[in-house]
Structure formats: C-alpha cells, structure tokens
C-alpha cells in the first residue's frame, strides 16, 4: 500500500469539525430529532474514516499510535487542567471515592497511557491475519482472514483512560471509534479527543477516526444506541446500571462487558504467605476497578484465615463476614455481619465479603450463584482441586495462585483493552486487538462453477 491511499489533513480544524453539528442546532435544548441527525452525521463521517483506516498498513497505524503517545505527554498540562475541573466538580457533587479514583488523571497515569500506546505499536497487526485456509478438491483456494469491525462505539462513565485505550485499540485494528464518556469526565474527555484527533491528523490519518457525542449528553448516547446500520458494534463499560441500560435499549449490536463481582477461594492447602500477599494485592492495590476481589471464600479446614484477616484489616479493609467467619476471627479483628446483599455487591472500595465453605463443591456452588462471570481465582497447593476449579468455573477468566488483578488487557499482553467481555459470543474476557476484528472469507478460483 502507498501512503497516497490515506487522504491528508481534513479541510476544517478538529475543534470546528467537532463543534459544527452542535452549532447547527438552533436551540439550547435541541429536539430529539436534531440530536439524532447530528449523531447520524458523526456516524456517517466515522464510516468514511473507517473505510480509510481499513486500508492503512501497519507502519502507518503504528506511526499514529506513537504520535498520540507523544502528544499526550507534550500536552499533559492541558489534560491535567481539564481533569482537575472534572475532579473538583465530582467532589462538589458527592462522587464516591471509587469513582473519583477512576476519574482522576495524574502525570504517572498519563505516562502509563503513553506507554500502553507504545506497547500497542509493538504488537502484531491483527488485520489480514489468516485464521484458517485450504485448497478444496475442486481447486478453490479458501482463506478466512481478520478484518476490522468498522465503526465501534463505546459508552462509559468517569474513565478518561478508556478514551485513550479505545482510540488506540481502534486505530491499531483499523476501526473508527465514537465515544460517549459521560458528564463526570466531560472536560477531560474533550481535551483528550482534541489531542487524539490532532495527532491522527499530524500523520495523515483521518481525524474522524476518533469522534465524541459527549456534547449531546444523554440524548446523544440514546441516539448512538439507536443508530442501527451506522454503528457496527457498541461496547458499554461501567457499572451495572449503565451496562444493563445499554443492553436493554440498544438497537445496534452490543458486546456486553460485565461488572466484576470477583471471587477468590482459599483452599485448605493454600500457603499462608502466598494467601496474604495475593489477597492484599487483589483487594487493596486499586479497589475501584472491576478485577478487584469482592468476595473471599475460606475453606473451613484452612488455618490461614487469622493472618489473612489481620493483614486485610490493617490495610483498612472492612470485612463483611458470615457467622462462621466471625466466630473464627481473632478477637483483635473486627467485622460487620454479612447479608445476601453483600454476596451480590461489587463494592469497588475497601470492603470485602467473606464466607466459610466446607468443600470445593460448596465454593463452586456459591460462585455459580453470585458470580457475574468476570474473574474467579483459587489459592491452593492441591493440583486436583486446581484442575477441578478450572473445569467447573464458567467465568471469562479463571486464575490459579495469582491475583485477580491480572485480568487486564495490558497485563495479559494484549496492549490494552476495550473492556472485559462476560458474554460468550465473539469475544470473552479482556477485549484487545483481535476482539475488535471480525472475519471474512476469501475464495479464489479459476472459473469453477457449482455442480
């Protein structure tokens, strides 16, 4: 492919292109029809950008990723200033500590976003990968290859890092993305989208490969969900209410990402030191994210509960314990009484539900009852129990003797992730580059006809 296939800079500046549909709306409170028309216009521009992106070779896309990484660092002062506005508003509005943590950007987190983009650039291009192929007896040559999905939309809340993650993954996989990042992060996302579009434009890639509908608020999100035929796939990322709203109301295809009611089963044979280190990491390293453990199941024959509970309480974790656990805790370790609501809760904070079970079967039964299908882990020195746990737990990720925090696209070598899919169609688990492609069949012949 020659670089001439990719048109150069768009005719109008990024801020003007993004603001133009909004300026065209005549009222401060535009009608549903006006918003829908504006969102459709954005989607149509995304379709054009997606067609151009699908023809970009790896070198060109990697150049775009590195341009974005450099721009994030060069313009971090602008990004952090916008983020401070959002964080201040969140504090005023009583936003929870967990959500504020997700909302907040720091120099270190911006550096992490830039590093993730560099890692993406170093990964193989999934587009054109041959999934399988063969030559039939009649001479037809078949190939099934990965191709971009096209226009990928995402609806998420208070997660400005997702803006960069999805844009980067979309670029590398040859897609165009439309973002709805929510009111809580409006200033940050506006700044990030401007940086992303400018960086794409600087290397001759279409700026419209990254667009936002944040300027149209909730009605813009609704219009995005209804844009069947214009949006190829929609990915919601956030809490249960947001995800279920999208799944229930969307008319476009949806890849469901799930909340993380994550479990760890502490088997009777688990090593004390390993259990303490893993539980502390899984619960306290960053409690506001979806791969943080929310329920600990302890085998009644385990002897490590006192050490684990003492370490968790020292780290500030509130234990929501059943009666058997409360009776087994040392006198120095306080707890609150657990209810069924605790087994169903994704705390996203320094809270942990703890229950005692008498067997692996009981642990599996509890997980099957309350799991959201995200990640479950077992800590054990019994190979048979590990193998049974792997076989019997039906979640997107099953972990043996390691922290649940590893269920992450970057940690698993995917570069980044759009989200953690808990469904079973097309994509499951961390959604990286390959999960943002579909396949098509290429059939080459020499005049064959079907008998």
Q: What is the mean pLDDT of residues 152-173?
A: 94
297 and 161, same structural domain? no
178 and 147, same structural domain? yes
Please write the tens of the pLDDT for every residue from 254-313.
987 767 899 999 999 999 999 999 999 999 998 988 899 999 999 999 999 999 999 999
What's residue 16's pLDDT? 47
137-175 burial code (b ≥16 CB/10 A, e <16): eeeeeebebbbbbbbbbbbbbbbbbbbbbbbbbbbbbbb
Lowest mean pLDDT among 40-49, 149-158, 422-431: 422-431
CA atoms of 258 and 376, how far apart (whole Å): 13
312 and 211, same structural domain? no
CA atoms of 332 and 399, how far apart (whole Å): 31
Lowest mean pLDDT among 29-33, 53-57, 273-277, 302-306: 29-33
CA angle 208, 211, 212 (to 5 degrees): 165
Q: What is the mean pLDDT of residues 55-75?
A: 97
Report H helices in 93-232.
97-103, 107-122, 160-172, 186-202, 217-225
Domain of 72, CATH number, reads 3.40.605.10
CA atoms of 25 and 349, how far apart (whole Å): 41
What's the pLDDT band for 28 if we cut at 50, 70, 90?
A: low
CA atoms of 179 and 206, how far apart (whole Å): 16
What's the pLDDT band for 415 if we cut at 50, 70, 90?
A: low
Lowest mean pLDDT among 68-72, 110-114, 442-446: 442-446
What's the pLDDT band for 352 if we cut at 50, 70, 90?
A: very high
Structure tokens at 75: 């313009």
What's residue 432's pLDDT? 82
Nearest C-alpha neighbor of 156 from the set 215, 94, 90, 103: 103
CA atoms of 17 and 206, how far apart (whole Å): 12
214 and 275, same structural domain? no
Q: What is the DSSP letter of 254?
A: B
178 and 269, same structural domain? no
What's residue 21's pLDDT? 47
In a 13 Å sphere around the CA of 100, the CA atoms on its Cβ side amount to 13
Whether 447 is covered by a domain: the verdict is: no
Q: What is the mean pLDDT of residues 322-334?
A: 96
337 and 252, same structural domain? no
In a 13 Å sphere around the CA of 164, the CA atoms on its Cβ side amount to 32
Please write the tens of the pLDDT for every residue from 189-233.
999 999 999 999 999 999 999 999 999 999 999 999 999 999 999
Whether 448 is covered by a domain: the verdict is: no
> Strands of 336-337's sheet, edge to edge?
336-337, 318-321, 351-357, 293-299, 262-266, 375-379, 397-400
Whether 112 is covered by a domain: the verdict is: yes
Instruction: For the chain, give the mean pLDDT.
Output: 90
168 and 309, same structural domain? no
Q: Domain limits at 272?
A: 262-411
Total domains, the chain: 2
What's the pLDDT band for 12 if we cut at 50, 70, 90?
A: very low
Q: Are 194 and 167 in contact (CB under 8 A)?
A: no
Domain of 313, CATH number, reads 3.40.309.10
309 and 171, same structural domain? no
Whether 420 is covered by a domain: the verdict is: no
100 and 190, same structural domain? yes
Q: What is the mean pLDDT of residues 394-418?
A: 87
In a 13 Å sphere around the CA of 114, the CA atoms on its Cβ side amount to 20
352 and 237, same structural domain? no
Q: What is the mean pLDDT of residues 58-73?
A: 97
Whether 81 is covered by a domain: the verdict is: yes
Asked whether residue 90 carries a pLDDT value surpassing 60, the answer given is: yes
Task: Give the whole-number percent of the chain exceeding pLDDT 70.
Answer: 93
343 and 271, same structural domain? yes
What's the pLDDT band for 4 if we cut at 50, 70, 90?
A: very low
Q: What is the DSSP letter of 350?
A: S
What pTM value is reported for the model? 0.77
Whether 418 is covered by a domain: the verdict is: no
Q: What is the mean pLDDT of residues 27-46?
A: 89
11 and 31, same structural domain? yes
What's residue 157's pLDDT? 87
Beta 351-357 vs 293-299: how paired, if at all? parallel
Whether 157 is covered by a domain: the verdict is: yes
């Amino acid at each position: 492919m020659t670089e001439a296939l990719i048109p150069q800079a768009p005719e109008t500046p990024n801020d003007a292109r993004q603001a133009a549909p909004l300026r065209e709306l005549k009222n401060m409170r535009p009608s549903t029809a006006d918003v829908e028309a504006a969102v459709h216009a954005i989607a149509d521009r995304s379709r054009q950008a997606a067609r151009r992106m699908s023809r970009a070779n790896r070198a060109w896309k990697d150049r775009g990723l590195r341009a974005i990484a450099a721009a994030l660092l060069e313009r971090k002062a602008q990004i952090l200033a916008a983020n401070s506005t959002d964080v201040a508003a969140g504090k005023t509005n009583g936003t929870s500590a967990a959500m504020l943590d997700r909302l907040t950007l720091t120099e270190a987190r911006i550096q992490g976003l830039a590093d993730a983009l560099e890692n993406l650039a170093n990964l193989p291009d999934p587009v054109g990968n041959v999934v399988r192929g063969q030559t039939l007896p009649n001479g037809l040559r078949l190939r099934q290859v990965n191709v971009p999905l096209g226009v990928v939309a995402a609806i998420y809340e208070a997660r400005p890092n997702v803006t960069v993650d999805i844009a980067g993954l979309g670029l590398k996989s040859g897609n165009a993305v439309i973002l709805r990042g929510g009111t809580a992060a409006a200033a940050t996302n506006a700044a990030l989208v401007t940086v992303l579009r400018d960086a794409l434009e600087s290397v001759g890639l279409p700026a419209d490969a990254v667009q936002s509908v944040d300027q149209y608020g909730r009605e813009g999100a609704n219009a995005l969900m209804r844009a069947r035929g214009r949006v190829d796939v929609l990915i919601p990322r956030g809490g249960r209410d947001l995800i279920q709203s999208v799944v229930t109301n969307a008319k476009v295809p949806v890849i469901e990402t799930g909340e993380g009611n994550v479990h760890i089963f502490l088997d009777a044979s688990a090593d004390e030191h390993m259990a303490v280190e893993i539980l502390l990491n899984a619960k306290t390293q960053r409690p506001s994210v979806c791969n943080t453990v929310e329920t600990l199941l302890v085998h009644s024959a385990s002897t490590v509960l006192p050490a684990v509970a003492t370490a968790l309480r020292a780290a500030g974790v509130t234990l929501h314990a059943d009666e058997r656990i409360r009776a087994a805790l040392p006198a120095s370790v306080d707890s609150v009484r657990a209810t069924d609501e605790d087994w169903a809760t994704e705390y996203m904070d320094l809270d942990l539900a703890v229950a005692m079970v008498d067997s692996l079967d009981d642990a599996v039964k509890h997980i099957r009852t309350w799991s959201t299908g995200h990640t479950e882990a077992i800590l054990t020195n019994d190979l048979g129990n590990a193998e049974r746990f792997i076989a019997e737990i039906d979640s997107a990720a099953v972990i043996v003797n390691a922290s649940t925090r590893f269920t992450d696209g970057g940690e698993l070598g995917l570069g980044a992730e759009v989200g953690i899919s808990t469904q079973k169609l097309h994509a499951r688990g961390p959604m990286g580059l390959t999960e943002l492609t579909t396949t098509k069949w290429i059939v080459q012949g020499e005049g064959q006809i079907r008998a």
